[in-house]
Amino acid sequence: MGAQWMLAPFLALLLVAANADVAAQEKVIPVTAERFKFTPGVIEVKVGVPVVLELTTLDRKHGFQVPDLKIDETIEPGRVTHVRIVPDKAGTYDFHCTVFCGSGHEEMAGQIVVSP
């Protein structure tokens, strides 16, 4: 039984190291929303590479929807919205704002481009 107790801290350390390694491999991409645009307007990622989109707004509440990737988030002023994705196939996926923000709202859109 003594040997099991000695292994417990070692196993815990392995789990912490494994989680840190996964987090280190994630690509973090800041995305800013403001009337009537997203910056960047084109987000480039690779198949199989974990990505965290850090969504913020400079002015008011906005939405961020990528229908083909089943993403539908609200971006609130003063907060960061994290969206984690691991693209599984190459393609171009349109995103747009889902919260009406004025006469230029229809143009508030962009693309996520996933390459092999």
| CA 64 to each of CA 9, 29, 47, 54, 94: distance values in angstroms, whole numbers, following the listed order | 42, 14, 21, 11, 10
- Reported confidence tier of residue 20, pLDDT bands at 50, 70, 90: very low
Of 5-9, 37-41, 82-86, 95-99, minimum mean pLDDT range: 5-9
3-state secondary structure of 105: helix
How close are the terminal C-alpha atoms of the chain, in Å? 50
Rounded mean pLDDT, 13-38 = 74
**Whole-number percent of the chain with pLDDT over 70:** 79
pLDDT of 6 > 80? The answer is: no
Superfamily name with CATH number, domain 26-115: Cupredoxins -  blue copper proteins (2.60.40.420)
DSSP state letter for 44: E
What pLDDT was estimated at residue 104?
A: 87
Least Cα distance to 39 among 19, 55, 27, 23 occurs for: 55
User: What are the backbone dihedrals phi and psi of residue 86, each rounded to the nearest 5 degrees, phi first?
Assistant: -130, 95
What does the domain layout of the chain look like in residue ranges? Answer: 26-115
Higher pLDDT, 62 or 9: 62
Helix (H, G, I), strand (E, B) or coil at 35: coil
